[in-house]
Amino acid sequence: MNKNLSKSSRFKGLRIAITGATGSLGKSLIQELKKKGAYMVGLTHSKKNHVNSDASAPNEWIYWSCGKEDELSSSLKNIDILILNHGFNPKEIIDFNEINKAIEINALSYWRLIKIFEDLAIDNNEDSTKEIWINTSEAEIQIAFSPVYEITKRLIGELVSLKKSKLSIEKSNYLIIKKLILGPFKSKLNPQGILKPEFVAERIIKKAEKENYLIIVTPNPITYLLMPIIESIRILYSKFIKIIYSN
């Protein structure tokens, strides 16, 4: 990422890849970031032919699948910002296979992509700083009327907090992490959502231009109060554990 870019051109000329590119929020983020001058790469599970002429379509499509994240390594090498936005919501308490699917999609695939992008950032550190945005959802700390979804979002949310804590403790600057804590927006995963994805995307991008880590967009004031407190406790806990084991 060019460190000399001004705030007004924060995303201009950057290569940004996003998972969940065909979802409502993915499309909205793509459209808004293209307006900002970014070159958008859509990471998709669908093998259907995609049209790139639409305003909400990326400039380029790349096919991928959960469990084969390593195959994306070469494609992500020249990416400045990676947005992890894919998800699966089983809604009910369901069978073993559906639970496994939710864990794989909502948590494990995220974690593997974070590791791959972090390794690329380390290799690339002398040239530029890479950035990753991770959509953990408000379900990380509150009910979403979908127990399995909540569990998986809580899992990846805590793993991201641990990763952020490690980077903070080591004072590493090769990878910037932004955690997206989003309230209920209307989508295929949540048809009852009360926020418009276009509004959520605009707020995310506006906040990403200024805020360092937590990007919260929700109508629920409790989230704005609780999330920073929870993150602070997790970071302090990580520092405490490091002190214990280093003695």
CB-based contacts of 18, cutoff 8 Å, min separation 6: 26, 29, 30, 40, 41, 42, 43, 58, 82, 83, 85
DSSP alpha helices (H): ranges in 142-196? Answer: 147-170
Task: List the catalytic residue out of 63, 110, 149, 237.
Answer: 149
Helices (H) and strands (E) in the chain, counts: 7, 7
Nearest C-alpha neighbor of 238 from the set 141, 161, 181: 161
Query: Are 38 and 11 spatial neighbours (Cβ–Cβ below 8 Å)?
Result: yes
| Known catalytic membership, residue 149 | yes
DSSP letter string, 83-98 = EE-------S---HHH
Query: Looking at the annotation, which residues are catalytic?
Result: 149
